[in-house]
Amino acid sequence: MDIDEAIQYCRLLLDSTPPEGIASCRAALSLAQLYILAFEGTHKIEDLDESVGLLVGVLKVAAGQSLCDRVVKILMSILSQRIGPILDNPSNAEAIPKTMQTVNETFRSGIRARGHSHYDISV
C-alpha cells in the first residue's frame, strides 16, 4: 500500500466516525501523520497544510483535549518544516504571515484545550 492509498482509507475511516468523538480525533491524528509522510516524499506544502488543519481541528473539540500534548508536539514539528522552505527561498516570503497566523492559532488552540483560556498570546 502506498501513502496516497493509506490517506484515502484513513479519510474513509475519519468520515465514518462520529464527529467530535475520541475515535474521530484519533483518525484525524493518524491522517495528519500520513500527510506528514506524504510531504516528506513530495515536499508539497499542501500536505503540511492539510495536516495542520486536521490537528488544529482535534484541539478544537472536547475529546481532543486528551491528545493535546501529542498534537501540539506534532504541530510544532510541522510548523518548523513549513518555515524551512520560506527561509530558503525569499520568493516564498508571502507565506510568512500565513505561517505566523497558523502558529498563533495553534498556540491558542493548545492553551484552550488545556483549559487556560485566560492567557493572552496575541502577536
| Tens digits of residue pLDDT in 6-59 | 999 999 999 999 988 999 999 999 999 999 999 989 888 889 889 988 998 898
Domain of 109 in residue numbering reads as 3-113
The pLDDT > 70 percentage for the chain reads: 75
The span from the CA of 57 to the CA of 55, in Å, is 5
Asked whether residue 120 is domain-assigned, the answer is: no
Task: Report the predicted TM-score, pTM, of the whole model to 2 decimal places.
Answer: 0.76
The structural domain count of the chain equals 1
Written as nine digits, the cell of 59 is 484541539
Q: Could you tell me if residue 80 is inside a domain?
A: yes
Residue 121 lies in a domain: no
Backbone angles phi, psi at 33, to 5 degrees: -65, -35
Residue 1 scores a pLDDT above 80: no
**H/E element holding 39?**
helix 22-42
Asked if residue 10 is part of any domain, the answer here is yes
